[in-house]
Structure 1
């Protein structure tokens, strides 16, 4: 059986759902949209970060648009009389730094001021006054987001995008891609494991951890790999005052949700292997996370482990920045890949951006051409110099 769609989007995550919504809600787009939800997409974490403290202006602007979108979420995504709630909590991010990171911190803060991000630099005395439960003996300072930072339930946001897109006429179906047929300068159709062939004008690869495999079917080397991320929740008899998300110089980070705490660890880039397994490695907590937590917050020296969760980020191993836009040769093959743990935060801006490329042939609001596939050819890496991505 062969069918035709104007636009086919590959991926079952929040990025794919956002693209479908923004494209179908455009007054100037009159085509059909099909989202093929692959079984391999894994970018729907239950909690996703929201912060503006980046060194690349584009990342900061995408985060700021996400805040604007959240402010009008029910105006944009409500279906009939069903209110949208994504459990957004605005509690700020506190990035802690040692002496070696002070130059990065000050350079980033200049950019934050330029783009209107509400971020304050803190010295050790400020940290002691504001967070007396924090051991700052080995810290040189910190950067605290005062507004527009926190987190939300990414699965809820995906569902809201999906249901609104469906109400506008987008079709969703589950399937596994097994082949992509291409011509000289374009891709023409894709075949699913069911045997169904779908022809199209344009195809968008938003397949998360499966994105490299999808690109390979079209003869494209896309340097995306899966990285396992583990979150450990624990309780403490000593309760803290409501805390921002804390990011330690070691890569350990934790957040508070009422009486529970959630901690994770981002391995150094040189020691962060590709992984598709989901088994929990409690040694990561014992060897890397808890020693840092108990040092940084002395009241955490006695805690009770509650549960653990294992998920995957999609990482661009070339430069750890996303890839957006069309392929330079196969011009109807589009990318929306590589957002690591920031898929939910990026989704409004990315959905709008890809819709503009397809609808108008170029960016109309926020220019994200810096993230094009072209740098995979030229070798010009785009590095985000946040203290912790």
Structure 2
């Protein structure tokens, strides 16, 4: 007969298994921060626990009574995002599981039933879907405006307008808005301004210098740079922090220490990568501008772009994302151009080290400024050699020509 040990006896490993190796020991400094993985947060006494709960509810910096409010790793990233995106302006950042969740929470935090939202017609497609779907269900009306209106959006403001939501350059069509003018008139009317700063990142644009109140960032893209993590962030001026913090807290939104660490790691090379993306995209854009198949190239850093002057005034450079319009191509030819490329892969998102190609189907995504041009192709220039990328597109145009037969 086997004698089973009593789990409560001194010989049992039960207590040791739970308590062993839980002290961090002597701290030491490393180049990169460690990853903090946690759910429960422990306290030395009840008074400390109560104080931390109060601080967490109030949204104080680095306060967390439970890890959904943050860990040292996620606090480090949120502080870095606020510092880099807002610069000298007093601001706070909240991390979200994706860029779209950052957009959705921002809109939910600052809009209420009966409010009116002005949203750029060239905004990121899922943001538009959220406004037309979820916001409409909750009694928030959205008007989509021509992104080229500039200060002319004032004519669309109503007494119930609470926010102007911008994206510059516009998604797929790359219009540059006169963001400073829009922010100035919105502030005079007591209306908040928010902007999606996906295309530029803080390396190439400083939206808080333009006067925006809120900047939304898909950290999935250039911040990560490696196409292997999903995350978003909303950065708000300090007075707006309590409303954003409560919206995030009440919905239980949080990110893992592992994912935050990946963004922190990618962030270190952000500026170096952005400058490479800029060079490669410009080389492709200038080459495409000379192709007979191309009607026009939609890249704000080209002198031919309608808002090139605004881009030059407000931006510090250009990223790797742009589009071009084909003169004439059947759907089969568009597919032939995009399919089976060596370097340009088919895929959503962008901002990683890889090059991507995507037919842009925006017919249902424009109402104030409908797309009337030819077939539109969106490119993301990755970190491959521009010569290799040009050769890949040359092969694509050859395939497109062959598909005509």
Fold-level similarity (TM above 0.5):
no
TM-score by length of 1: 0.25
TM-score by length of 2: 0.24
Higher relative contact order (CA 8 A, sep 6+): 1
The structure carrying a bigger strand percent of its residues is 1
Q: Which one has the largest radius of gyration?
A: 2
